[in-house]
């Protein structure tokens, strides 16, 4: 049995995992990163749009600050987010984007003087300030009051990921590529590391660490139609779930993006509509104004996705061999704009559909895009129920997105969480009481258990075919646990998923190679994915309200009285076919921004009994402190700065908010 000892084990080499590793290493802790693929291939590379940070450099971002970013994020979350965490996030995001600028990310910069932009389909001239020249530029994104999204042309995630990955190399942090964590090693209350499979040789190795961080990204591939990469299978979340001790939070909160290309589901950026693109149906009719007369194509992601599906259900979808879809028409933007400002859209349409968007409409249909739920942690990133286990990035639920995350808030979250959680991981390792203390017996037991599972798949009597189970799961998730959800459909989905899970305990594989063996990998991952799928579907069935991206046709209202709480799913009994659901109440009495109307979408919700009282308190504090600086008001409403690691505290400088020298 091979055992590797380290201070910090990070599972996942996307933006979040690598930033955690850098923080821990800089504090003097030996750190090893695991990844299924070379770090620069992680799915963080696919983010094109940008990263939200309230720098307020561009003229359309003037006046932006942490307070406005906070409000946008909480409203976006439909009040599902933890407001302390959102505060920590919005205060750190400007620091994160500036750190990346110093490290070498070629952020797009402001050019002083006049420029033409398209707002609401009309050409407008805006003038950038002299003093902003050369500073980081921001663009417009859905759900934000100010232009706040920093970007690198059309390759934000790519450039961020390359800079952070190269920084990992500069710090001399080893990345064990083509390895896969199969199980966490733990004793029910303390996590000691993971059993890891080498995907080339098949060897199982135990990695023992003081602190283990899961940063394995999203779970999009439990759906058939998803913008996520093929490795976004949610198995990292399953690692936590299978401990029986750690919980997954709000797994039913799944975001669908309106405009992935059809049928490959590769994302076409929101910019296509932002710049004036239109949605058309089978008859060529522009249908969005019929549903959303005000915002039309530019309503929020969940709303547009729902309208498209609604229209298709009415029989208005265009039909093709692969099913129904609608059209995205950007021909009106003209060749120059398409080939320069929307280069990625142009290339994807050309390479994948053979469509020339300068002349032709592009087939699109909504698809799964983002996993708001994940491994439940405290604001430090540590699991409240399994000591020594941390999580960060899309795999985590610390919980800054609640039931809907804003575009641009996710790559921002990865690096911000990496900075914050990385410091807490280092603090944890600094404390002598957390020194390595694990029996070899426990390690042996966990390795033997994983080996037995693999041997059973290779040489057991199992007859079920993992590919078939998986594709049935993906169909169920897309068809019944998708954009529109009903009790009846969810119930049948849960029942069938349970059957699939039971069948997955009887899998067999045809190729017997113990080394690199794609069929074997599909088999054991499918077992894990089914548990994650059940956490999503069962959570959605039980939550009898609509909130953010979770939309129940049979319960269309947000119900704060019953449901202002976070779902916690655990899998206590290995032989069970369902997770155990518990709920964690959100405390209205502590909220800086008590629940209300989001400012878009339905205005129809049921209040929590504490809301009006808290709102009155907040109003009173605000009135009393009128004229006081915004930091003092914020501190009076909901103090949070003590939650941040010391070195990340402090105000952020802006052109209009200078810090003393």
Active site residue 257: yes
Name the 3-class secondary structure at 325: strand
| Member of 170, 436, 488, 602 binding other proteins (CB under 8 A) | 170
Minimum CB separation of residue 320 from other proteins in Å reads: 6
Neighbours of 656 (CB within 10 A): 12
| Member of 408, 422, 594, 601 binding ligand FAD (CB under 6 A) | 408
Minimum CB separation of residue 365 from ligand FAD in Å reads: 15
Name the 3-class secondary structure at 504: helix
Name the 3-class secondary structure at 16: helix
Residues 290-319 that bind other proteins (CB under 8 A): 319
Tell me whether residue 620 is exposed, middle or buried, using C-beta atoms within 10 angstroms of its C-beta: 0 to 12, 13 to 18, 19 or more: exposed
Q: Among 42-50, 112-120, 275-283, 562-570, which window interacts with ligand FAD (CB under 6 A)?
A: 42-50
Q: What is the 3-state secondary structure (H, E, C) of 98-110?
A: HHHHHHCCCCCEC
Q: Which does 322 bind (CB under 5 to 8 A by kind): other proteins, ligand FAD, none?
A: other proteins
Active site residue 87: no
Q: Which among 139, 192, 257, 558 is annotated as catalytic?
A: 257
Judge whether 483 and 366 are in contact, CB under 8 Å.
Answer: yes
Minimum CB separation of residue 254 from ligand FAD in Å reads: 13
Kindly give, in sequence order, each residue whose CB lies less than 8 Å from that of residue 400, ignoring residues fewer than 6 positions away. 73, 77, 81, 82, 85, 86, 89, 409, 413
Residues 1-30 that bind other proteins (CB under 8 A): none
Residue 602 touching other proteins (CB under 8 A): no
Judge whether 280 and 318 are in contact, CB under 8 Å.
Answer: no
| Tokens found for residue 372 | 């708001």
Minimum CB separation of residue 207 from other proteins in Å reads: 19
Bridge partners, 584 (sequence order): 566
Bridge partners, 139 (sequence order): 149
Residue 15 touching ligand FAD (CB under 6 A): yes
The contact mask relative to ligand FAD for 139-178 (x = CB under 6 A, - = no) is -----------------xx---------------------
| Tokens found for residue 395 | 């795999």
Residue 568 C-beta-side C-alpha neighbours within 13 Å: 18
| Tokens found for residue 26 | 């800089």
Q: Which does 181 bind (CB under 5 to 8 A by kind): ligand FAD, other proteins, none?
A: ligand FAD
Distance CA 23, CA 425 (A): 9
Distance CA 506, CA 216 (A): 27
Residues 505-524 that bind other proteins (CB under 8 A): 509-511, 513, 515-519
Residue 353 touching other proteins (CB under 8 A): yes
Minimum CB separation of residue 202 from other proteins in Å reads: 8
Residue 228 touching ligand FAD (CB under 6 A): yes
Return the number of the residue (90 or 637) whose C-beta is nearest ligand FAD: 90
Residue 63 touching other proteins (CB under 8 A): no
Distance CA 334, CA 340 (A): 10
Judge whether 209 and 7 are in contact, CB under 8 Å.
Answer: yes
Q: Which does 22 bind (CB under 5 to 8 A by kind): ligand FAD, other proteins, none?
A: none
Catalytic residues: 257, 273
Interface residue list for ligand FAD (CB under 6 A): 11-17, 34-37, 39, 42-44, 46-51, 156-157, 180-181, 215-218, 227-228, 231-232, 235-236, 267, 370, 393-395, 407-412, 414
């Amino acid at each position: 049995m091979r055992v590797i000892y380290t201070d910090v084990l990070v599972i996942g080499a996307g933006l979040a995992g690598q930033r955690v590793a850098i923080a821990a290493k800089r504090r003097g802790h030996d750190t090893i990163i695991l990844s299924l693929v070379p770090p620069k291939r992680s799915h963080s590379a696919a983010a094109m749009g940008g990263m939200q940070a309230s720098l307020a450099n561009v003229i359309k971002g003037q006046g932006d600050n942490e307070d406005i970013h906070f409000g946008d994020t909480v409203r976006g979350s439909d009040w599902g987010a933890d407001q302390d965490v959102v505060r920590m996030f919005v205060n750190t995001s400007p620091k994160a984007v500036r750190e990346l600028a110093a490290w070498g990310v070629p952020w797009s910069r402001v050019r002083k003087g006049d420029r033409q932009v398209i707002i609401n389909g009309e050409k407008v001239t805006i003038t950038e300030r002299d003093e902003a020249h050369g500073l980081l530029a921001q663009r417009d994104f859905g759900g934000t009051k100010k232009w706040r999204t920093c970007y690198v042309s059309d390759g934000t995630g790519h450039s961020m990921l390359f800079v952070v990955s190269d920084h990992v190399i500069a710090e001399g942090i080893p990345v064990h590529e083509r390895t896969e964590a199969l199980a966490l090693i733990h004793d029910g209350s303390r996590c000691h590391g993971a059993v890891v499979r080498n995907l080339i040789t098949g060897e199982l190795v135990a990695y023992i660490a003081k602190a283990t961080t899961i940063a394995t990204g999203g779970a999009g591939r439990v759906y058939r139609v998803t913008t996520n990469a093929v490795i976004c299978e949610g198995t990292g979340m399953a690692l936590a779930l299978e401990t029986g001790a750690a919980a997954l939070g709000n797994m039913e909160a799944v975001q669908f993006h309106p405009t992935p290309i059809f049928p490959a589901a590769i994302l076409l950026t929101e910019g296509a509509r932002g710049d004036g693109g239109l949605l058309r149906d089978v008859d060529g009719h522009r249908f969005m104004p019929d549903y959303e007369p005000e915002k039309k194509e530019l309503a929020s992601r969940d709303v547009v996705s729902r309208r498209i599906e609604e229209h298709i259900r009415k029989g208005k979808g265009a039909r093709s061999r692969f099913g129904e879809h609608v059209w995205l028409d950007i021909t009106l933007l003209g060749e120059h704009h398409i080939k320069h400002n929307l280069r990625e859209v142009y290339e994807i349409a050309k390479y994948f559909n053979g469509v020339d968007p300068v002349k032709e409409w592009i087939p699109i249909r909504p698809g799964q895009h983002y996993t708001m739920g994940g491994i439940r942690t405290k604001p430090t990133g540590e699991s409240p129920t399994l000591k020594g286990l941390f999580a960060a990035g899309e795999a985590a639920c610390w919980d800054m997105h609640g039931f809907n995350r804003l575009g641009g808030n996710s790559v921002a979250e990865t690096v911000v969480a990496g900075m914050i959680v990385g410091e807490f991981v280092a603090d944890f390792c600094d404390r002598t009481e957390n020194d390595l203390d694990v029996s070899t017996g426990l390690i042996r037991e966990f390795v033997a258990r994983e080996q037995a599972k693999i041997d059973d798949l290779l040489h057991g009597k199992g007859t079920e075919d993992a590919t078939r189970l998986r594709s049935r799961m993906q169909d169920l998730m897309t068809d019944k646990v998708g954009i529109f959800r009903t009790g009846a459909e969810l119930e049948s989905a849960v029942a069938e998923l349970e059957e699939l899970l039971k069948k997955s305990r009887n899998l067999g594989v045809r190729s017997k190679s113990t080394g690199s063996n794609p069929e074997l990998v599909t088999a054991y991952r499918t077992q894990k994915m089914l548990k994650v799928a059940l956490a999503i579907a069962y959570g959605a069935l039980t939550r009898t309200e609509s909130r953010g991206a979770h939309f129940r046709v049979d319960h269309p209202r947000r119900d704060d009285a019953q449901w202002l709480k976070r779902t916690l799913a655990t899998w206590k009994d290995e032989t069970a076919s369902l997770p155990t659901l518990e709920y964690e109440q959100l405390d209205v009495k502590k909220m800086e921004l008590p629940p209300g109307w989001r400012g878009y979408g339905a205005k129809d919700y049921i209040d929590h009994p504490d809301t009006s009282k808290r709102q009155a308190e907040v109003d009173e504090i605000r009135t009393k402190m009128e004229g006081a600086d915004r930091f003092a008001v914020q501190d009076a409403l909901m103090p949070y700065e003590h939650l941040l690691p010391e070195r990340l505290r402090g105000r952020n400088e802006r052109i209009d908010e200078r810090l003393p020298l």
